Chains A and B, each alone.
Chain A
């Protein structure tokens, strides 16, 4: 008898058996369904997180190098960076002159956790950045209201400010901030522009920021730690640009050959790596939980199938007496196991998608499930049924027809 007939007949018997034991079938597929639902909800949330992160990362610009004393993400021996020499304006100017791959070089000064007020309104925990016009191009800022900083603002040490969207919303609720006045460090600043919303990155708002002219920053805060942002036109040239920048900086900072760099070159890719590190362990645990649930469902299927084989011993004996081969019996029971599991998987998939949707509606986590995951859920469930059906099916096929026919 052909395998095709085995499959058709096995499928027919499986459907009939599952229909005949409705409660048992329901309980079994619930177990598998819960497993698949858990796994799928987790995967959906993970995929959503990943998607959101890569979108945010893309908004930062992928063709930018940031030169600083510290790496963005300090892992381990942070004190190693403390004694590094400052990065100076002269080094930045050397970089701007000598680099051939850089399309823009811009200085960046930072002050964290500042308070701003405008009339009765106030906002705290704001990052103040002092920089020049090219900063907009390098980091891809959009200015829907007003204008960005100019180099002339810096040269004239103008007390003007461009507000991040969240700062603008809090200080000027319901009205335009442009032309208004904010107070920072007990001085009045004129608002010349508001940045477009950037959202969050690694849980931190990128909109709690204000930008001021570079020289005005120097005048207000004195000399602070300088960072240099370097833009490259083609993202593919980023590695070569990094080599070039490293060479120029080692020369102007007089780093002896054989000595390690005394500065750090940061790329958005590092954030992606950090994200991976932070989340991979979490994902591992989450997926592990889902798999264990599915394992429980699989064991449930095995249990039910063993019961089914025992109950139907005489039927198996009869089928063997009437000419069914061992393979026919194996196929019949494997189909039964994978069918109940696949149905459970389909229900679990629907529930899992619902859960993911619920999570994204209730929390700030954005869940996204790719179509492939859905198909994978059903197929994986069927596979679980198949695997856990092997032993019961083998037991059914190994039954001696004579003994099986005599079974009470």
Chain B
């Protein structure tokens, strides 16, 4: 089992009010799965992604990632876990504008303490994997949106993480480019990678073998992607009727 969440709760205090962002979430993800986490804005899916990505720790509950209990780790330990276990893909790409594609992909390897030559070799291989071997020395502003997201995916892949975590990866792309990126995800899935995709778009979730729907900080549905994606429409219709 790659991910095991057990009654994860995350509460925030905003002013005097306590916000229950996650209200007892439990699920498991096996190695090699491709899972969408779908929900409306404010459903708690972003908080869940932060917890899954070890950027945030739960108020209570336990989280095992690749066999390690990461729910109560120190700041430094979490930094190392993020570096080794997780590859982040962000909606806004989060590339460093002054670095080349190669420099951006090398970045996580610096924090792993690898030497310059090994970093470069691995970064080239990762860019090759996403089909950008001819854009190695380009800076982000010389690349299209789709190419930027491919650089970001290469950066996520370069550390050979156990989990690829994508947050609305097509949100800033036109639909054709979005389709390309989803195609790349499916390709990575077939190659054996575990992917977790956080989105609010049912069409995206429908393409995943499995989807988990979050609402008000709890799981309301967990099943095959197309099914769960449609279920949201029914839910919205119900909400509109009442």
Interface residues as binary, B97-114 with A (CB distance below 8 Å gives 1, 0 otherwise): 010000000011011110
B55 at the A/B interface (Cβ < 8 Å)?
A: yes
Given contacts A325-B79, A402-B56, contact A20 B111 (CB under 8 A): no
**A314 contacts B75, C-beta separation under 8 Å:** no
Q: Contact at A321–B53, with CB atoms within 8 Å?
A: yes
Asked whether A75 is an interface residue with its Cβ less than 8 Å from the other chain, the reply is: no
User: Cβ of A401 and Cβ of B83 under 8 Å apart?
Assistant: no
Q: Kindly supply a per-residue 1/0 record for chain A positions 391-408, scoring 1 wherever the CB is within 8 Å of any chain B CB and 0 otherwise.
A: 000000000011001000
Roughly how many angstroms separate A406 CA and B114 CA in the complex, as a whole number?
Answer: 29
**Any chain B CB within 8 A of the CB of A186?**
no
Question: Is A326 a contact of B110 with CB atoms below 8 Å?
Answer: no
Residues of chain A within 8 A (CB-CB) of B96 are 315, 318
A328: chain B residues at CB < 8 Å are: 111
Judged by DSSP, the binding face of A is: helix
Verify if B40 is at the interface (C-beta below 8 Å from A).
no
Instruction: Give every chain B residue within 8 A of A20 (Cβ-Cβ).
Output: 98
- B112, A325: Cβ atoms under 8 Å? no
Asked whether A322 lies within 8 Å of B108 as measured between CB atoms, the reply is: yes
Give the contacts of B84-104 with A (CB-CB under 8 A). 84, 88, 90, 94, 96, 98
Q: Which residues of B contact A327 (CB under 8 A)?
A: 76
Give Cα A401–Cα B79 distance, bound, in whole angstroms. 10
Task: Report yes or no: A402 in contact with B55, Cβ–Cβ below 8 A.
Answer: yes
Within 8 A of A (CB), among B154-173: 155
The answer, yes or no, to whether B82 is at the interface (CB within 8 Å) is yes
B144 within 8 A of A: no
Contact of A2 with B107 in the complex, beta carbons under 8 Å:
no
Answer yes or no: B179 CB below 8 A from chain A CBs.
no
Q: Would you call B30 an interface residue if the criterion is a C-beta within 8 Å of the partner chain's C-beta atoms?
A: no
**Does B80 lie within 8 Å of A321, measured CB to CB?**
no
Q: In this complex, what residue of B is CB-closest to A19?
A: B98
- How many B residues touch the partner, as a band? 20 to 34
Residue of B nearest to A397 (CB): B75
Question: CB distance A321 to B55 under 8 Å?
Answer: yes
Contact with A along B46-90 (1 / 0, CB 8 A): 000010010110000000000000000001100110111000101
**In whole Å, how far is B88's beta carbon from the nearest beta carbon of chain A?**
5
Task: Report A-chain residues with C-beta under 8 Å of the C-beta of B82.
Answer: 320-323
Q: Is the CB of B90 within 8 A of A325?
A: no
Q: Which residues of A contact B98 (CB under 8 A)?
A: 16, 20
Asked if B90 contacts A322 (CB within 8 A), the reply is no
Residue of A at shortest CB range from B85?
A323
A326 to B98, CA, bound (A): 22
- B112-156 vs A, CB cutoff 8 Å, 1 = contact: the mask equals 110000000000000000000000000000000000000000010
* Set B94, B107, B112, B155: member contacting A1, Cβ < 8 A: B112
Q: Which of B21-57 contact A (CB under 8 A)?
A: 50, 53, 55-56
Q: A27 an interface residue at 8 Å Cβ cutoff?
A: no
Check A1/B111 contact, CB under 8 A, given A20-B98, A323-B80.
yes
Given contacts A323-B82, A324-B79, contact A318 B113 (CB under 8 A): no
In the bound complex, do residue B108 and residue A325 qualify as a contact, i.e. CB atoms below 8 Å apart?
Answer: no
**Are A322 and B53 neighbours in the complex by a CB distance under 8 Å?**
no
Q: How far is the CA of A321 from the CA of B53 in the complex (A)?
A: 8
- B111:A401 contact, CB within 8 angstroms: no
Question: Which residues on B sit within 8 Å (CB–CB) of A317?
Answer: 94
Most buried by A among B75, B76, B79, B107: B79
Instruction: Let me know if A86 is at the binding interface, CB within 8 A.
Output: no
Interface hits, A291-321 → B, CB 8 Å: 314-315, 317-321
The residue of chain B having its C-beta at the shortest distance from the C-beta of A328 within the complex is B111
Q: B residues within 8 A CB of A401?
A: 55
A2: nearest chain-B partner, CB-CB? B113
Asked if A372 is at the interface (CB within 8 A of a chain B CB), the reply is no
Q: A5 contacts B113, CB within 8 Å?
A: yes
Chain A residue at minimal CB-CB distance from B116:
A8
Q: Nearest CB to that of B167 among chain A residues?
A: A405
Chain B residue numbers with a CB within 8 Å of A314 are 94
B63 CB to closest chain A CB (Å) equals: 16
Q: In A3-21, which residues have CB < 8 Å from any B CB?
A: 5, 9, 16, 20
- How many angstroms between the C-alpha atoms of A20 and B98 in the bound complex? 8
- Measured between alpha carbons, how far is A328 from B75 in the docked complex, in Å? 12
B188 smallest CB distance to A (angstroms): 19
Instruction: Check if A323 sits within 8 Å of B94, measured CB to CB.
Output: no
What are 19 sample pairs from A and B whose C-beta atoms fall under 8 A apart? A16-B98, A315-B96, A318-B96, A320-B82, A321-B53, A321-B88, A322-B88, A322-B107, A323-B79, A323-B82, A323-B111, A323-B112, A325-B79, A326-B75, A326-B76, A401-B55, A402-B56, A405-B55, A405-B90
Instruction: Mark B residues whose CB is within 8 Å of A.
Output: 50, 53, 55-56, 75-76, 79-80, 82-84, 88, 90, 94, 96, 98, 107-108, 110-113, 155
- A contact residues vs B (CB 8 Å cutoff): 1-2, 5, 9, 16, 20, 314-315, 317-328, 401-402, 405
